[in-house]
Structure 1
Amino acid sequence: MELTITYEEAYRELEQIAQEIEHETVSVDVLAEKVKRASDLIALCQKRLKGTESEVNKIIARMEKNPES
């Protein structure tokens, strides 16, 4: 399942889910649904972070190879 939200939106939603679970405001009937959503959001955030890290490393490598750019 590909989510089309930004990293920041996903992170905020994860924070909200964590607060709901921590403060026990999540109904037992929807707990599994919330945990599944959190899992999807975590996967999205990890993917975006790894992609960003890869891009930054490529840029740094190019800069080190050609410092005049």
Structure 2
Amino acid sequence: MADQPVDLNSHHEQHRQYQKHSKQKTDAFRQQSQAIQKQMQDSSESNERALAKEIAELKQLTKRHASK
């Protein structure tokens, strides 16, 4: 069986396309991850503000009832 010549140009082009596709996927996942992290941080900060407001309101109510 005779060895067929390898088309290196074709091989390299396929490899470049694979690398390009992999980089695009990696970038897309990275962007999604950053968006999720930002969303979680914003949500956490929003929850903290809501809790701080609720605690302040409860303290005010406690002071009013304690002074009676």
Normalising by structure 2, we get a TM-score of 0.57
Q: Is 1:59 aligned with 2:40?
A: yes
**Higher-RCO chain (CA-CA 8 Å, sequence separation at least 6):** 1
Q: 1:30 matched to which residue of 2? A: 11
Out of 14, 20, 23, the position equivalent to 1:42 is 23
Listed one character per residue, the Cα deviations across residues 42-62 of structure 1 (whole Å, up to 9, x for unaligned) are: 000000000000000000000
The structure richer in helix per residue is: 2
RMSD: 1.3
CA distance in 2, matches of 1:29, 1:51: 33
Pick the structure with greater CA Rg.
2
Q: 2:66 matched to which residue of 1? A: none
Q: Which runs of 4+ in 1 moved over 2 A?
A: none
Structure 2 spans left out of the alignment, 5+ residues? 1-7, 52-68
Q: How many aligned positions are there?
A: 42
CA distance in 2, matches of 1:58, 1:36: 33
